[in-house]
Amino acid sequence: MKLFATLSIAMGLVFASSARRAEDLTVATAPPVVVKTVPQAGAADVDPALKSISVTFSKDMQDESWSWVKLSDESFPKLDGKPKYDKDKRTCSLPVKLEPGTSYAIWLNSEKFDNFKDADGRAAIPYLLVFETKKKD
């Protein structure tokens, strides 16, 4: 139920931010959105040996600015370094140590934390990344 309430808040943020008039919205003025994650959202067979989680946005992003947000301590991976952007300025990677047979849930921006921002300072639309690692053989 807590996850549903959190998702409802996020959807409210999306609808509130999309209240701009459609004719005012352009690719240049739109907030950045997640276009790809590794692992893919919803994957249930992620190799626990994966060394980093990455997110790619629709626009160039501000360097040294991110919000990898915990949904809970249990669902957030152990960190193995600091986040960093690739040379493409759109992909941010988070070094992690994953455990086998574990469900992970990470907000990329949230209601309270919105430091994933494009080069012009617009916060990315919040995105919930959920995946599971394979169990030990």
Region 109-115: mean pLDDT is 97
Q: Do residues 37 and 130 make contact, with C-beta atoms less than 8 angstroms apart?
A: no
Report DSSP state, residue 16: H
Please state which CATH number belongs to domain 2-132. Answer: 2.60.40.1220
Domain ranges of the chain: 2-132
CA distance 39 to 50: 9
- Quick one: pLDDT at residue 24? 84
Report helix, strand or coil for 80: coil
**pTM to 2 decimals?**
0.83
Could you report the per-residue pLDDT of 66-96, keeping only the tens digit for each? Answer: 999 999 999 999 999 999 999 999 999 999 9
Share of the chain above pLDDT 70, in %: 83
